[in-house]
Structure 1
Amino acid sequence: MNKKIFTFLLLAVFMLAQFSMASAATVAGDASITAIPTFAQATGIDVDWAVSGMAAGTKNVLMWAREFPAAAYSMTECQLVATINGTSDANGTYFYDFAATALALGNGDVAEFTITVDSDNCAGAPTLPAADSVMGSTTVDTAFPTLAILNPPSLSGAIFISQPVACNTFEMWGVASDHYGFPSTVGYSGFGDWNPQVTGTFAPPAPITAGESLLSWVNTFPATASGPWTFSVQPEDSAGNMSPSWGYRVSLVIDPTELEDCATFTDTSGHADETYIRYLADLDLISGFADGTFGPDTTLTRAEAATLFEISNGYDVASLPTSAPAGCEFTDVAASDWFAGWVWQACDDGYMNGVGGGLFDPNNLLTRGQIVTIMNNVGLAGPSGGYLNTANVINTLWFFPTPFRTAAWTDVSIGAFYAEPVVRAYGSGVADGTSDTTFSPDQPVTRGEFAKMLYRALSRYV
């Protein structure tokens, strides 16, 4: 896959005596490139220039360009880009059309520019500009962002652009990268904007980040919504390269069930994870407590996690094993325990293992590193039913060869059991870090955090 970075360095230097011609005497003057965008589209770039101190007489300001790979200027490489007529101090903007260039440019090439006064033949000049005369630079980004867009969880087998939502408040989301699949040494302009479009109102997307971005687009259907509603995005990078428009919900007519309020709890209003909690509760994938609370900031035990994953896998109490399958005998899990069948099933499916010494440790708190490891195991083992068996993030996008998002974690050691799952969870957009540089893998996961991860892991990809 070819990517962008067709990098162009703009240099500007006045070499009056060095670019003299037999037919014209050199004249005084000072020229410079005053402004160049850091990144530019593949079509071309605006170069701002200025000239001062020019002596009387006819003068031309000339821009020259060459391909960068050589260590020093070569006369045969130097080619005329533009001739700008002038007889006095002046300034302006020149649009350099990449398509019209005589340079044999390719992916990753660099082009350098210099400016001369009253010299109309760079190749014939007796002395060429020094290699250290750089006055400006730009990186040419030729490709639009790579992206994945996700629809809310659904058990339906229909393609995701035709999926109704489970209740009236939901998150459409996506991940995009301006450097997907390319090494960090390759230049790119960075993510610019999602350009979301909808036939109704919506909350604005999350802020952009350099090179990559995660869109969190929470919508609530108004009670009066009817007819077809379409949600779409058209990501672009900071150089202005735009992806094709991608639709979430393409002309799908509102169903009355989509206007019903999502399940609610007395302690989730205004919580950061409220949308995920209420939506999954509407799908009967998570539940609260008898007093009407959900406890979004309380922690989650290993037994509770086993239960929640196997509910998503399509199991109920009646379908669980009544004794430990081979290899899943734990001395701290008795048949009389409420969680026994759930733990045994999660173990038998390959989602959760013991902690060693014949123990499962069902009442210990689940950490952030452990929860993404379980999700990784779900994808590796292969889901056997329920919501885990749909064309969702956890068994499609999660295992893309290159993550959409990357981070330099300071607290995730190479070789740790959760290292690769952390990369996949963050890269696919399922999990966020606790800061720009920390994932906090040993920190207990909260019920709200788990709901958010589960919502995104079960979101429809195709």
Structure 2
Amino acid sequence: MRKKVFTLLLLTVFMLAQFSTASAVAVAGDASITAIPDFSSGTGVDLDWAATGMAAGTKNILVWARVYAAVPVAYDPADCQLIATIIGTSDASGTFAFDFTTTANLNALGTGDQVEFTLSVDDQTCATADVPAIDSVMAVNYVDSDDPYGFRGSPPDVDVTTPAVIEDNRVACNTFELWGVAGDDDVIPDAYSGVGPWNPSVTGTFAVPAPIGADDEVFSWVFSFPSTASGAWSMSIDPEDAIGNTDGFADYYRDGTLLTTVDAAELADCETFSDISGHEDEVYVRYLASLGLISGFADGTFGPDNTLTRAEASALFEKANGYDDTMLPATAPAGCEFTDVAASDWFAGWVWQACDDGFMNGVGGGLFDPNNLLTRGQVVTIIHNIWLNGGGTAGSYLDFAGPSTTLQDEWNNWGDTLRHAAWTDVSIGAFYAYPVIYAYEVGVADGTSATTFSPDQAATRGEFAKMLYRALSRTDNH
């Protein structure tokens, strides 16, 4: 009798186990997430789905979501949503807008949160359906709910002494670059969706060409005033990240409401050289030449791909600092006595002034090395030195009391949050390490590849012109 009861109990346990196993999959069918963006806003995300192998009858495709945790928690029916109801055996697919705001545990997501998703096929709706296994994850999605941020750059102004209103600045000649740098990761590098459209707009009496960009978070808009340009005009950007976040406020390069009209000087052609047409750095070279900050050679060329020496660089930076050859020291200031710089050298006064201002140092052993080539790492280091010394002479393009510039307001101001690069050729502790990081981050300098900056490579005259133009550009945060 006991044996018979025992056998009956075993049979009962077996049948219950079979029933339990059968109820774990209510109906036949396989559902999958076929596509989902890497990032979404904090309000929802569109996911593509497909269902195959459907059994007969009525079935529900359900999507389950939860916030990622190092130790996974069970899916909650309160965070489940019904994708579709399918009648019959036909396969199905589509796009579903999962709404975070209507869930119990996902309605307060913030930038950097990661959401895990899985699908199930059931004859029940979310409240009574079988909850997926805790290790079931078909897709993940990061949340980016922050607006992009950064700054915009207008050309170096012809009136370097007016710090008042950036929108009211005037350009030196008819061809120039308006540019900007934006980031989207704030201080959370893994919550980055990327800069998307910049939403540029222009109003005025003339049409301008489409902008170039965005490329690596840098926006560039180069154009020329046509000879017929007149009246007030304005140009603005409103950068947007890759999933649509924007602050919704246009940031003006120049605002026509301030009665900023095109004048005759702005319609004049920029200075030019016989070998600069079509060069990638043409706009920077011609514009700075129009300001008198750089010059070409006696034969009418500029040599944009030529290198330049350390002595030549001292003259170029000091011209931006408001000096001409009548204002230079006749003898070496204290601490700037170099054995390879004689008073009879054409560059002596420029070298001594750059040294006395703290912009350029010697190379050791009492030498300045004036005839050696200036490297890319040295260019950004000199710019960094100008920043460290608080700018330049009053009324010059390097005067930090004048208009806000990239060098004055943006250099080292963003905490390494705008543009990032993992340079393989910039070692920690190198004299140019931080200057390279700052220059790249704020758009003053680009790398020579995705992983190299080439700090020891000789800088070209064209590269120098671009770095100087960008460093001196008037800026405003947005």
Q: Report the equivalent of 1:11.
A: none
Q: Report the equivalent of 1:388.
A: 398
Alpha-carbon distance between aligned partners in 2 of 1:436 and 1:115, rounded to the nearest angstrom? 39
Q: Which of 251, 254, 257 is 2:262 aligned to?
A: 254
3-state secondary structure, aligned to 1:228:
coil
Q: Is this contact kept in 1: 2:184–2:241, CA < 8 A?
A: yes
Mapping 1:36-435, distance limit 5 Å: 36-69=36-69, 71-74=71-74, 79-82=79-82, 84-88=84-88, 89=90, 90-104=92-106, 105-107=108-110, 108-118=112-122, 120=124, 128-131=132-135, 133-154=136-157, 155=160, 156-183=162-189, 186-199=190-203, 200-209=206-215, 212-244=216-248, 245-251=250-256, 252-385=260-393, 386-389=396-399, 390=402, 391-403=404-416, 404-435=418-449
Amino acid at match of 2:274: T
What do residues 10-53 of structure 1 show as CA deviations (whole Å, max 9, x unaligned)?
Answer: xxxxxx977949xxx93322222333233223331223333333
Alpha-carbon distance between aligned partners in 1 of 2:431 and 2:358, rounded to the nearest angstrom? 15
Q: Is this contact kept in 2: 1:300–1:447, CA < 8 A?
A: yes
Alpha-carbon distance between aligned partners in 2 of 1:19 and 1:189, rounded to the nearest angstrom? 43
Distance 1:106 1:138, change over 3 A: closer
What do residues 190-235 of structure 1 show as CA deviations (whole Å, max 9, x unaligned)?
Answer: 22222222234444444445xx411121111111011122111121
Taking only aligned residues, the RMSD between alpha carbons, in angstroms, comes to 2.4
Please, which runs of 5 or more residues in structure 1 have no aligned partner? 1-15
Amino acid at match of 1:59: K
Deviation at 1:277, TM superposition (A): 0.8
- Worse-matched range after superposition: 70-79 or 286-295: 70-79
- Worse-matched range after superposition: 418-427 or 28-37: 28-37
Distance 1:96 1:166, change over 3 A: same
Deviation at 1:124, TM superposition (A): 6.3
Deviation at 1:300, TM superposition (A): 1.0
Distance 1:117 1:20, change over 3 A: farther
Alpha-carbon distance between aligned partners in 1 of 2:273 and 2:120, rounded to the nearest angstrom? 72
3-state secondary structure, aligned to 1:111:
strand
Distance 1:187 1:349, change over 3 A: same
3-state secondary structure, aligned to 1:317:
coil
TM-score (norm 1): 0.88
Distance 1:388 1:31, change over 3 A: same
Amino acid at match of 2:53: G
Distance 1:76 1:292, change over 3 A: closer
Deviation at 1:392, TM superposition (A): 1.1
Deviation at 1:243, TM superposition (A): 3.9
Q: Percent identity?
A: 57
Alpha-carbon distance between aligned partners in 2 of 1:81 and 1:345, rounded to the nearest angstrom? 71
3-state secondary structure, aligned to 2:315:
helix
Q: Report the equivalent of 1:7.
A: none
Alpha-carbon distance between aligned partners in 2 of 1:393 and 1:34, rounded to the nearest angstrom? 45
Answering whether residue 443 of structure 2 is matched by residue 443 of structure 1, we say no
Alpha-carbon distance between aligned partners in 2 of 1:19 and 1:94, rounded to the nearest angstrom? 29
Deviation at 1:348, TM superposition (A): 0.7
Deviation at 1:120, TM superposition (A): 3.8
Alpha-carbon distance between aligned partners in 2 of 1:196 and 1:321, rounded to the nearest angstrom? 47
Amino acid at match of 2:172: A
Alpha-carbon distance between aligned partners in 2 of 1:415 and 1:83, rounded to the nearest angstrom? 55
Alpha-carbon distance between aligned partners in 2 of 1:72 and 1:20, rounded to the nearest angstrom? 24
Deviation at 1:91, TM superposition (A): 3.2
3-state secondary structure, aligned to 1:236:
coil
Deviation at 1:78, TM superposition (A): 6.0
Q: Is this contact kept in 1: 2:82–2:126, CA < 8 A?
A: no
Q: Is this contact kept in 2: 1:296–1:446, CA < 8 A?
A: yes
Deviation at 1:142, TM superposition (A): 1.2
Q: Report the equivalent of 1:4.
A: none
Alpha-carbon distance between aligned partners in 2 of 1:19 and 1:314, rounded to the nearest angstrom? 85
Alpha-carbon distance between aligned partners in 1 of 2:229 and 2:51, rounded to the nearest angstrom? 60
Amino acid at match of 1:226: S
Q: Is this contact kept in 2: 1:62–1:120, CA < 8 A?
A: no
Q: Is this contact kept in 1: 2:116–2:139, CA < 8 A?
A: no
Q: Is this contact kept in 1: 2:342–2:348, CA < 8 A?
A: yes
Q: Report the equivalent of 2:11.
A: none
TM-score (norm 2): 0.85
Deviation at 1:59, TM superposition (A): 2.8
